[in-house]
Amino acid sequence: MCMMKISILEAKTVSKGDVSFEEIYSLGEVTEFPLTPVDKIVENVGDAEAVLCNKTPFTEDVLRACPKLKYIGLCATGYNNIDLKACRELGITVCNVPAYSTDAVAQHVFALMLHFASRVAEYDGFVKSGGWIRSDTFSNFAFPIRELSGKTLGIIGYGSIGRKTAQIANAFGMNVIVSTRTPKQDDTVKFTDMETLFSKSDFISVHCPLTEATKELVGRDMLKLCKESCVIVNTSRGPVIDEEALAEALNSGRIAGAALDVLCTEPMLESCPLIGAKNCIITPHVAWAPLETRERLVKVVAENLRAYINGAPINTVTE
């Protein structure tokens, strides 16, 4: 029996050697690449019938240059790097991994929010630099801190991660308002319009997908509506925020802070306007990356591929 040829194009983006691809190797003849530069995509796909990728861009030209390709398995939920129209025309099945990182990303949202609320890193630095030793009081209020309880959290987008974020916020005693194109029945939050969300929120957490409608949604006009005490958190997609406008808002004191796990260009460019911006913390797209989360991801990627091989694909992307 001839085994399916499978190319893993970006192994390094999923595992640093701590997550096994053994289950995928059991499904066919696998060629594994740590990373795949844009100019090497066609070469690395080769004569594979199935590829597993994360951010590799599959444009129409690339897809047409890979005539044996019949399956693209995304090691991710998002699929804006795939030309779905061309895939449909060429009979290529695309499958993603929905909701695998919900708990991890929501956890990271609150790690970022608590950075501003509790100032743990700054207080740790204060103590390590001898500040507490020199203190004349047992409790030194070197940095202002505040409670999350009673504050208003505005959530943009209300998919699985937005809903999990709301649940955690409710546990903290926060008031949750939500702006989404598809309001759901949920008595634990209040649905509102975007302008109200920006003007009323103490914290804003972005969870919408990147589309033409959401690109630079967080821009100058919306930022002008914010309270000066507002902190913006983004764990969705970088281009949802206008980085120039956000840097201006931070540096001018228009808003109190920003915490970002995603940027418009990744890895970060030296020219990114947010480098050195006031009260801006950035993590390198790791909200989804706990070990347990990546193990869950690879398990579903393997399940998706197995289902396709068996003639009953699951988690297919069609829109």
Reported as a single tens digit per residue, the pLDDT across 231-248 is 999 999 999 999 999 999
pLDDT tens sequence across 17-50: 999 999 999 999 999 999 999 999 999 999 999 9
Mean pLDDT, the chain, rounded, equals: 97
Given the residues 237, 243, 294, 296, the one annotated as active site: 237
* Among 195, 228, 266, 292, the one annotated catalytic: 266
Mind listing the domains of the chain with CATH numbers? 5-100+291-309 (3.40.50.720), 102-282 (3.40.50.720)
| Per-residue confidence (pLDDT) for residue 3, from 0 to 100 | 85
pLDDT given at position 299: 98
DSSP letters, the chain, are -PPPEEEES-GGGT-SSSS--HHHHTTSEEEE-S---GGGHHHHHTT-SEEEESS--B-HHHHHT-TT--EEEESSS--TTB-HHHHHHHT-EEE--TTTTHHHHHHHHHHHHHHHHH-HHHHHHHHHTTTTTT-SSSS---S----STT-EEEEE--SHHHHHHHHHHHHTT-EEEEE-SS----TTSEE--HHHHHHH-SEEEE-----TTTTT-BSHHHHTTS-TT-EEEE-S-GGGB-HHHHHHHHHTTSSSEEEES--SSSSPPTT-TTTT-TTEEE--S-TT--HHHHHHHHHHHHHHHHHHHTT---SB---
- pLDDT at position 2 is 64
Q: Is 108 a catalytic residue?
A: no
pTM listed for this prediction: 0.93
What is the mean pLDDT of the segment spanning 164-168? Answer: 98
Give the model confidence (pLDDT) of 270-319 as tens digits.
999 999 999 999 999 999 999 999 999 999 999 999 999 999 999 999 87
Active site residue 266: yes
Q: Percent of the chain at pLDDT above 70?
A: 99
Instruction: Find the catalytic residue in 115, 285, 294, 296.
Output: 285
Average pLDDT over residues 138-142: 96
